[in-house]
């Protein structure tokens, strides 16, 4: 079948909307999804700086959501017509997958970022028959259709606005999962969030929903205003004595801190803002060595990396849609939609900080 997709041909060029060809039917355990919307995540844009590790040309996009139009037979757990949110890929049988920790799948990097599953022949090609990279994050959802493993898809209530749900599969999952899964934050807990982008603001919303007190730090006044709207105490990143201010606001230090910036001065500030035994989670990829100031880890403080919010998507995504339906996780307020054809404008707006979460809407044929 042929359909439109946004193809990235080189690390420098803009995306190009092209007709692509899917040369296979869903195999057992796979589903074909008509994409109604796909979020743009920082990891999509980081491909440009992957120094050749993420293969091109490729169809990126890994926050897809849509409607199942075909399945790989009756053994597939998801059926035609189901509304689904697509999440990251995992192998399903390594030690961490078996331990309900698919975000730490042994094959996470290869399946999601650096080449996808081994497929005998190119399944997705361009109009001239040239092979495109194997699916990105098990999806490649900057397209009208995506062929995905059913195990990465989460069925959702058809009453929900499915076109907007894709970011629940990665960006919002990461921020909310850090708070609800990794930290297990609850009433009377305290949290400091560094960086109020899509991940940080999802963390703020989840913390507010969980009854925790949150301080949010960012350079952009607009982002701080959003953090405040969702229940956080806003603090500009340049505030003098930032860790002391946070400790005063959190009764002696935050129990948890989440860094989404990968800035080593801010990471040191985050550690200094923690109370004894407090934990710092890092979600952004570090590009340089991380020097820690003496004393920052004293008294039981800890630091760890968090991937995909430590989530089992099939458990966390329904929890987040339930909170949204109850008015307690208003993620839709972070989204601006663009036609898929305007993907380059969405990338520019994302880079310039003019939008928190772009969601790209394919034209579709039947809508």
Min CB(101)–Zn ion separation in Å: 9
Output 91 or 254, the one with its CB closest to Zn ion. 91
Output 278 or 329, the one with its CB closest to Zn ion. 329
Token pair in block for residue 171? 């960006």
Output 66 or 102, the one with its CB closest to Zn ion. 102
Question: Got the DSSP string for 33-44?
Answer: EEEEEEE--HHH
Min CB(337)–Zn ion separation in Å: 18
Distance, in Å, from the CA atom of 246 to the CA atom of 252, rounded to the nearest integer, reads 8
DSSP state letter for 182: I
Min CB(257)–Zn ion separation in Å: 21
Burial label, 150 (beta-carbon count in 10 A; 0-12, 13-18, 19+): buried
Output 94 or 131, the one with its CB closest to Zn ion. 94
Sheet of strand 302-305: strand arrangement? 233-236, 213-218, 190-194, 254-259, 274-282, 302-305
Query: What is the distance of C-alpha 264 from the center of its chain?
Result: 22
Output 41 or 156, the one with its CB closest to Zn ion. 41
Nearest to 62, CA basis, from 81, 48, 78, 42: 42
Output 126 or 142, the one with its CB closest to Zn ion. 142
The answer to whether 137 touches 88, Cβ cutoff 8 Å, is yes
H or E stretch covering 319: helix 313-325
Distance, in Å, from the CA atom of 55 to the CA atom of 112, rounded to the nearest integer, reads 11
Burial label, 115 (beta-carbon count in 10 A; 0-12, 13-18, 19+): middle
Min CB(186)–Zn ion separation in Å: 26
Distance, in Å, from the CA atom of 285 to the CA atom of 147, rounded to the nearest integer, reads 28
Min CB(91)–Zn ion separation in Å: 3
Output 63 or 189, the one with its CB closest to Zn ion. 63
Output 1 or 94, the one with its CB closest to Zn ion. 94
Q: Which residues of this protein are in contact with Zn ion, per CB under 5 A?
A: 41, 43, 90-91, 94, 97, 105, 170
Min CB(8)–Zn ion separation in Å: 15
Output 90 or 140, the one with its CB closest to Zn ion. 90
Min CB(340)–Zn ion separation in Å: 17
Distances (CA, A) of 293 to 66, 269, 283, 296: 47, 9, 20, 6
Min CB(135)–Zn ion separation in Å: 14
- Give the list of residues 6+ apart from residue 293 with CB closer than 8 angstroms, or none: 268, 271, 272
Beta strands 63-71 and 30-39, pairing class: antiparallel
Contacts for 362-365: CB closer than 8 Å, 24+ residues apart: 362/4, 362/35, 362/36, 362/38, 362/143, 362/144, 363/4, 363/144, 363/339, 364/34, 364/36, 364/144, 365/144
Min CB(107)–Zn ion separation in Å: 5
């Amino acid at each position: 079948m042929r359909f439109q997709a946004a193809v990235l041909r080189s690390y420098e060029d803009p995306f190009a909307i092209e007709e692509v060809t899917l040369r296979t039917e869903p195999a057992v355990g796979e589903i074909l999804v008509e994409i109604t919307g796909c979020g743009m995540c920082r990891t999509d844009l980081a491909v440009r700086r992957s120094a050749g590790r993420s293969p091109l040309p490729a169809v990126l996009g890994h926050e897809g959501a849509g409607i199942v139009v075909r399945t790989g037979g009756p053994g597939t757990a998801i059926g035609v017509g189901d509304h689904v949110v697509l999440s990251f890929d995992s192998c399903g049988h390594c030690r961490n997958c078996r331990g309900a920790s698919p975000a730490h799948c042994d094959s996470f990097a290869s399946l999601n970022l650096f080449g996808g599953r081994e497929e005998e022949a190119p399944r997705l090609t361009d109009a001239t028959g040239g092979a495109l990279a194997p699916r990105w994050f098990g999806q490649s959802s900057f397209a009208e259709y995506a062929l995905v493993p059913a195990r990465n898809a989460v069925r959702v209530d058809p009453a929900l606005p499915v076109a907007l749900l894709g970011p629940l599969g990665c960006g919002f999952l990461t921020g909310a999962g850090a708070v609800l899964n990794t930290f297990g934050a609850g009433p009377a807990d305290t949290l400091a969030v560094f960086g109020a982008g899509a991940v940080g603001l999802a963390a703020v919303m989840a913390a507010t929903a969980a009854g925790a007190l949150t301080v949010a730090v960012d350079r952009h006044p607009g982002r701080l205003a959003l953090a405040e709207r969702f229940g956080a105490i806003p603090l500009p990143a340049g505030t003098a004595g930032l860790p002391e201010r946070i400790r005063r606001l959190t009764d002696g230090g935050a129990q948890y801190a989440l860094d989404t910036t990968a800035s080593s001065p801010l990471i040191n500030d985050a550690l200094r803002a923690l109370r004894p035994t407090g934990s710092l989670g890092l979600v952004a990829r570090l590009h340089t060595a991380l020097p820690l100031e003496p004393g920052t880890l004293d008294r039981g403080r800890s630091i760890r990396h968090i991937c995909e919010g430590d989530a089992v998507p099939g458990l966390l995504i329904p929890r987040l849609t339930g909170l949204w339906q109850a008015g307690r996780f208003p993620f839709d307020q972070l989204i601006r939609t663009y036609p898929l054809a305007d993907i380059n404008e969405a990338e520019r707006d994302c880079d310039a900080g003019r939008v928190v979460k772009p969601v790209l809407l394919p034209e579709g044929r039947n809508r």
